[in-house]
Amino acid sequence: MTHTIAEIATIVGGKITGNPSTIITGVSSISDSKEGDITFVANQRYEKFITTTKASCVIVPSNFDKETIQNLILVDNPYNAIVLYIEYLLSLQSKKPATIHPSAVIGNNTSLAENVSIGPNVVIGDNCRIDENVSIFANCVIESNCSIGKNSIIRANVTCYERTSIGEHTIINSGAVIGSDGFGFIENTDGSFRRIPHIGNVVIGNYCDIGSNTTIDRGTIGSTVIEDGVKIDNLVQIAHNVRICENTAIASQAGIAGSTTIGKGNRIGGQVGVIGHLTLAENVIIHPQTGVSKNITKPGHYFGSPAKEHLTTLKQEAALNQLPQLLKEFRELKNKFDKVQQIDE
């Protein structure tokens, strides 16, 4: 699909500097572009590439004032603009007709709404409900009594255990496991373990994104809940009976232990660990590799293990960095004091 710079400027709401009739045939990064591409600069660190990029047009901030021979589109937010254009391109792609592959297995009393696409080797159990425009890719397993809301996408090799509920416009990426048993065991007097049955389920809201190879365990009793708008990266572990409140984002390799509630609008960095039975307030930002072992009761930035307010942790780190020099100075002062004391004696 091709567009002129003038057409793209209309789509993204920008102002043109250069030739509006230039044809654009692709989208690229500014350092890896070719003639006919459109690219963008959202960070000043990348402005140096504008004079060397081969792209035919660069989307730049509206306050950009450097001289260049490149065609430019000036906008308030270049990153948002390029995303808007990519979304527009994707909207123009013709969708595959809804099909059910002959190898798919559909259980009894399972309802499939209009325009549902089901790929090869998909297994859907009994008493499921698959709403309009849902796409389920190859090798997925949707066990009995599950529901998937309209316009949701289940990528290849996803497993949803029984009674999983998935909302509308939600994407679950390949390899995710939704509704597996939690890590629940009773230790016997002889040191062996007895498995605790998990009879709950997982409820995922609307407009959620679940990353590849992420696992969300079912509730022991009751539900593990992922509310509307939650974004979860790849390789994240969500334990039984956790509640992730709306519009929270969790980065890769984080782990949330059982029965913890994560407040609205939280931002949880990579490799964060949160122990069980905690409550985190709304609008909490937890920096990467932080260990959360106590409730967080007010919004703010937190870092360290155990987690503390970010500024407090930075001050402690700075003090620790000075400790070797302080010890050296202390020993020198002690040696001087000992010598003075010996002379007095």
Domain ranges of the chain: 3-92, 105-309
Confidence of residue 95 (pLDDT cuts 50, 70, 90): low
pLDDT attached to residue 155: 97
pLDDT of residue 344: 67
For residue 173, give the nearest of 130, 204, 132 by alpha carbon.
Answer: 204
3-92: which CATH architecture? 3-Layer(aba) Sandwich (3.40)
Residue 84 has pLDDT above 70, yes or no: yes
Nearest to 153 by CA among 193, 103, 212: 212
* Integer Cα distance of 309 and 329 in angstroms: 30
Nearest CA to 295 out of 279, 281, 277 is that of 279
Average pLDDT taken over every residue of the chain = 93
Q: List pLDDT tens digits, range 141-161.
A: 999 999 999 999 999 999 999
The CATH number of the domain covering residues in 105-309: 2.160.10.10
The pTM is what?
0.85
More confident residue, 91 or 145: 145
Which residue has better confidence, 67 or 204?
Answer: 204
Tell me the per-residue pLDDT of 21-64, one tens digit each, with 9 for 90 and over: 999 999 999 988 999 999 999 888 888 888 889 999 999 999 99
Smallest CA-to-CA distance from 214 within 170, 246, 240, 252 is with 252
- Residues 161, 26: Cα–Cα separation, whole Å: 41
Residue 247 CB: number of other CB atoms within 10 A?
17
> What residues act catalytically?
240
Find out whether 265 and 248 touch, Cβ atoms under 8 Å: yes
78-92 vs 5-12: helix crossing angle, rounded to 10: 110
CB 112 within 8 A of CB 129: no
| pLDDT of 338 higher than 90 | no
Alpha helices in 189-344 (DSSP H): 310-344
